[in-house]
Amino acid sequence: MGLETARLLARDGAAVVLLGRRQQTLDAVAATIRAEGGTALALATDITRADDVTRVLDRVRAELGPVDVLVNNAGSASSVLNPQWLPHDEWRQVLDVNLTAVFQLTQAVLPDMLGRGTGTIVTVSSLAAVNPNLLGGAAYGAAKAGVRNFMTFLHNTFRNQGLRAITVLPGEADTPILDNRARPPAPEERADMVRPEDVAEAIRLAVALPQRVVLQEIVVAPTRQRDTSADLEISRWAGAPADAAPQA
């Protein structure tokens, strides 16, 4: 979703800054954007570390000026979905990436946006925020609900100072994260899912609309709803102790 969003915004003339853990991956995305005639700056960053966020934002301001649009797209899910057995370190890691990092990046860009009386912050949450279950897991659903709440707080608090705070809630999407599920969906199941470019188009629309208009919350869901009952049952026992899981 981040790749497709960056490509679309760059095609619209935005100078895109790519943040992520792996420089090589970011460089590949930046090369794709530049090959399409866009401008991209790739900066390896641990967005869960406040000092790392401050460092890269200082560089962005120095090279490109203040940030006009922030898109929070990084996501992480736990391998254990059931809170009965969810390790505490996995819980913290999921909240750090999906919630704390959004707060830290937002805090870093707010002074410029509020000072200029204009700015847009888009955060990719999930329908797990409103319908949490074992597909995403306890930690993921809690983090996505938290970030949705935080974006609503920004909307309610700063809209009259020119800030647009937008939450995007994708449904089940065909992205590589599905490969890490307790039961990865089959290709034919993925065919009807939301695709990354669908979410990117929604973000592009929200960003491109006149500043006087805010799409406060956008749900991007598959038209067809698949049966996930088997997935939920398998996910229930992922990470369970051997003596707790049902016998085959």
Active site residues: 140
75 close to 97: Cβ distance less than 8 angstroms: yes
Query: What is d(CA 44, CA 56) in angstroms, rounded to the nearest whole number?
Result: 9
